[in-house]
Amino acid sequence: MLKKISLATVIFILLLSLISCTQMEQEAGGDVPLIQTLQRAEQALAQGDDSSAERLFNQVLNSDPINPKANTGIGLLNLLKANRKLLTLMESVSTELGTNSRGSSSLMRLINFDYSQIQRDLTDIVIDLENAKNGLEIALTFMSPDSTMTVYPNRFDWNKDGYTDAASPLNLSFDLRGDGETRLWWVLFDRPAPAIGPRRFFDSSKRGDAWFDIQTINGLIYEDSLSPNYSPDFDEKDHIILSKNEIEVILGFVNLELSVLEPTIIYDLNPKPEFTDFLTTASNTMHQYAHPLDFATQTLDTDQNGTMTNTEIRTNFPETFLRFYSNQQGGVNAVNDWKDALNDLVNIGLKLEREGFFEFTRADVKGFFEAIDKAVNTESNYLLKEGGIGEDSIYIKPSIFFSNPENFDDLKDLLIPDIGYLTFNIQFPDPTFGGLINQTPVLNLLRQFNK
């Protein structure tokens, strides 16, 4: 008997299936050429021709910017585009780490990693997600209550082999469970195990793009299990009809992804070349020193007064490192977009919770969303408290960051301490870290450390 569907599996299924729209039910009335263009867009998408579908949807939007059908289509295409790029990025990072790990130390892998390219890729993904969010929000505003959309998750070229095979199983490119099974449906619904170092997610050497089976979903959700000999039948029945409520669920997933990815483009995360040059020198000359710390103390403490200061330490980092990312999408804009995504996620999440969407899990979903809301928007309710739950020892206030992001434009001003290596004394430039942390608990912690 197959296992009951898990929360992680539900999220994975929804995320893949809800971004795979290929056919929309037309509303009566409207401009005939626009309707014909929408029909052509739907046909292109049904055939797996994403580029033609995007071009046709944009043609409609050029004439009718608030058209709910076209905005939904372009929103879903941008979501699909973002997640495909995310999979590609994960494959690329995995490959790069695997290549650099051959005969290399952890230090060399850190030095060789291409931080700038990763952040550019993440920025592109965030832009696609923001475009998806914008389209779906417009669609929800102007959709009629009876407007629907039909999703066919198996009609996309998931493995990028140049063919769409909606009736043949989609295969992973690695043996997830160690038993030789690579067909995604069988991996998803038959005791999946953690992946071990994948380089690509889907195997392009094997024809097949099908993984979604509606009978499977219904059996696991409504009957809790499937028979031991159950096998999926990929056919035209494998679709989902989405209404305005389901589009809102998709928008919730978009905000969830933005909530995770927006923070990665707030600050410049590239430590090259200064820091990686420092590490390279350290690696090559460490053997010349009696103690591993001697290299740091003798190179960073330029005046040799027993203290490595903030100013001395930061000369070994690029000036842009940990400063607001200069990309137009990053910095303060990323902070504001992050805040919007979190607030929108909370609003949609609480609405879905009231409607019973999360009944399949025992987790305190309501408490989770309410905690996010308080952290982002309420200065009198904070995440962590010293010595347990109590209002008298609150010390983390995330809302300060969202309310005054300009005060955190360079994290080096806050995070790099003066280190007295002879007296074992550490002094941060601002023990409150810009007001994020209550001073007393931090000072108490530092006093204990300095002892």
Across 352-373, average pLDDT: 88
pLDDT for residue 21: 43
pLDDT for residue 361: 75
Q: Can you give the residue range of the structural domain that contains 124? A: 7-244
417 with 306, same domain: the answer is yes
Which of 126, 81, 110, 114 lies closest to 331, judged by CA? 126
Confidence of residue 393 (pLDDT cuts 50, 70, 90): low
Task: Report whether pLDDT(323) > 50.
Answer: yes
Instruction: Give the count of domains, the chain.
Output: 2
pLDDT for residue 233: 83
Within a domain: 232: yes
Most confident of 95-109, 210-224, 282-296, 302-316: 302-316
From residue 215, alpha-carbon distances to 156, 183, 232 in Å are 20, 17, 8
Within a domain: 258: no
373 with 403, same domain: the answer is yes
Task: Report whether pLDDT(347) > 90.
Answer: yes
pTM equals 0.79
Across 21-40, average pLDDT: 63
225 with 322, same domain: the answer is no
168 with 53, same domain: the answer is yes
Within a domain: 256: no
109 with 223, same domain: the answer is yes
Across 299-312, average pLDDT: 94
38 with 167, same domain: the answer is yes
162 with 291, same domain: the answer is no
213 with 362, same domain: the answer is no
CA–CA separation, 370 and 70 (whole Å): 34
Within a domain: 187: yes
pLDDT for residue 46: 64
Within a domain: 52: yes
Within a domain: 249: no
Which of 406, 416, 393, 407 lies closest to 435, judged by CA? 407
CA–CA separation, 351 and 357 (whole Å): 9
The 10s digit of each residue's pLDDT in 203-243 is 777 777 777 777 777 776 566 566 777 788 888 777 766 67
293 with 324, same domain: the answer is yes
Task: Report whether pLDDT(3) > 70.
Answer: no
Within a domain: 222: yes
Q: Which long-range contacts (CB under 8 A, 24 or more apart) does 56-65 make?
A: 60/34, 63/31, 63/34, 64/31, 64/34, 65/138
Within a domain: 273: yes
pLDDT for residue 389: 44
273 with 203, same domain: the answer is no
290 with 206, same domain: the answer is no
83 with 223, same domain: the answer is yes
CA–CA separation, 176 and 192 (whole Å): 7
